[in-house]
């Protein structure tokens, strides 16, 4: 307790005594009051001496807690960005698989139409429908992969193991779609080579 507070405390006690009609205070009562006041002052001083240590510990705890929170926020933000990148890459792979297989189908259908309109189908052109089947199955595989990607994302919310299974299935279907494109392109190239050589 500061000196100002101490003086104000004594003044308010004297004022209270006057308000109660007491004209004089005995020495013994004053001594007892000052002893109680001294006890209050020593107690508040010992508390004020402990407060800086306690506030330092509390401040240190708060700083450590805020640092931990910021660390977890940074990890969470990093994981979220990584997740967004993976999703974006997966979508690009799906779109690419559909695009290349669809483009291969359209190009092959155009070529087959041109061959048919020019006259009788050559013997070697009979391999072209196999190539077309590979391209169409590639588009179908990529489309199914798109559906399993949705199921994977939906399943990650409830059961992570099911989400991982669907995710692996999506990846396998996209890779299979690329394989079908390669197979269809190879079969078409072989047929074109035979057509050109005759």
* C-alpha count within 13 angstroms, C-beta hemisphere, residue 6: 15
In this structure, what token pair is assigned to residue 160? 């992570």
Neighbours of 121 (CB within 10 A): 12
In this structure, what token pair is assigned to residue 42? 């020593």
* C-alpha count within 13 angstroms, C-beta hemisphere, residue 155: 16
**DSSP code for 122:** P
Report phi then psi at 135, rounded to 5: -65, -45
CA–CA gap between residue 184 and residue 129 (Å, rounded): 9
Identify the three-state secondary structure at position 78: helix
Residue keyed to tokens 């994302």 = 153
Domain residue ranges of the chain, discontinuous segments joined by + = 3-197
> Could you report the per-residue pLDDT of 113-151, keeping only the tens digit for each?
887 777 665 666 677 888 999 999 999 999 999 989 888
Q: Kindly report which listed range (50-54, 59-63, 122-126, 171-175) carries the lowest average pLDDT score.
A: 50-54
Neighbours of 143 (CB within 10 A): 15
Short-list 68, 63, 142, 133, CA closest to 98: 142
| Burial (CB count within 10 angstroms: exposed 0-12, middle 13-18, buried 19+), residue 118 | exposed
Cβ partners under 8 Å of residue 71, min gap 6: none
Q: Give the residue with greater pLDDT, 186 vs 22.
A: 186
Q: Kindly report which listed range (16-25, 89-98, 117-126, 169-178) carries the lowest average pLDDT score.
A: 117-126
145-153: Cβ within 8 A, 24+ apart: 145/94, 145/97, 145/169, 145/170, 145/171, 145/173, 145/174, 145/177, 146/94, 146/98, 146/170, 148/173, 149/90, 149/94
> In which band, very low, low, confident or very high, does the pLDDT at 157 lie, cut at 50, 70 and 90?
confident
């Amino acid at each position: 307790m500061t000196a100002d507070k101490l003086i104000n405390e004594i003044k308010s006690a004297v004022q209270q005594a006057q308000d109660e009609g007491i004209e004089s205070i005995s020495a013994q009562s004053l001594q007892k009051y000052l002893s109680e006041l001294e006890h209050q002052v020593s107690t508040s001083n010992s508390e004020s001496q402990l407060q800086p240590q306690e506030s330092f510990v509390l401040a240190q705890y708060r700083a450590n807690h805020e640092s931990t929170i910021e660390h977890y926020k940074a990890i969470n933000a990093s994981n979220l960005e990584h997740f967004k990148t993976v999703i974006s890459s997966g979508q690009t792979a799906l779109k690419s698989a559909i695009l290349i297989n669809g483009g291969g189908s359209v190009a092959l259908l155009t070529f087959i139409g041109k061959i048919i309109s020019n006259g009788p189908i050559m013997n070697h052109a009979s391999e072209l429908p196999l190539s077309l089947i590979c391209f169409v199955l590639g588009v179908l595989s990529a489309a199914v992969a798109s559906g399993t990607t949705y199921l994977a994302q939906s399943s990650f919310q409830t059961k992570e193991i099911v989400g991982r299974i669907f995710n692996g299935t999506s990846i396998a279907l996209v890779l299979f779609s690329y394989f079908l494109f390669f197979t269809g392109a190879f079969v078409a190239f072989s047929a074109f080579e035979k057509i050109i050589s005759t």
